[in-house]
Structure 1
């Protein structure tokens, strides 16, 4: 009977060894999956942060461009109004001069 018991114990040892190997293999696979998931999540987070920063930069550029365009338009409008005002003033002075001349009130030298 001792031979049977020795064979039984040897078989149990082999089964236990294989079970431990399978458990370790399962743990290794689970850790690899966990690490892969963490890497994928970090990559997604980084891409999202990059996309967000890019959108912020584009918005800031567009805002600055709009401000510059508005300032340029304002400057052009101011110049146009000043020229128009000068033209109206000159026309009015010319009209006053013509009326005075017509009425004989012009400057006599």
Structure 2
């Protein structure tokens, strides 16, 4: 009887270990998938940031040009501008 109990105990332990291994494999797969998604999200965020930065720079240059043109227009209207001179 003792050997049969030991066999059943060993069998249960083996089945438990197999189940634990399956669960660990599943957890690793889930962690790998989550890591891949996080990496994709980070890359997408970086691309969005770069695109937004380019737009801000372009808008800033446009505003600066508009201000410069407005200043020249006011100077020319007041007779203070030099139409041959560029800033």
Alignment TM class, shorter chain as reference = 0.7 to 0.9
Q: Which structure 1 residue ranges, 4+ long, deviate > 4 Å from structure 2?
A: 26-29
Shift of 1:28: 6.2
Q: Matched residues in 1 for 2:31 and 2:79: separation?
A: 71
How far apart are 1:34 and its partner, in Å? 3.2
Larger RCO, structure (CA 8 Å, separation 6 or more): 2
Cα distance in 1 between the residues matched to 2:2 and 2:81: 111
Please identify, of 72-81 and 82-91, the stretch whose mean Cα deviation from structure 2 is larger.
72-81
Counterpart in 1 of 2:65? 90
Matched, 1:52 2:17: no
**C-alpha distance in structure 2 between counterparts of 1:108 and 1:28, whole Å:** 108
Cα pair distance change 1:34/1:87, threshold 3 Å: same
Tell me if 1:34 matches 2:46: no
Inter-partner Cα distance in structure 1 for 2:80 and 2:71: 10
| Unpaired stretches in structure 1, ≥5 consecutive residues | 1-25
The Cα offsets for residues 2-42 of structure 1, whole Å up to 9 and x where unpaired, read as xxxxxxxxxxxxxxxxxxxxxxxx56654553343233112
**Greater helix fraction, Structure 1 or Structure 2:** 1
8 Å Cα contact 2:76-2:83 kept in structure 1: no
Aligned counterparts of 1:28 and 1:105: Cα–Cα separation in 2:
110
The DSSP-based 3-state class of the residue aligned with 1:104 is coil
Structure 2, unmatched stretches of 5+, are: none
TM-score by length of 1: 0.64
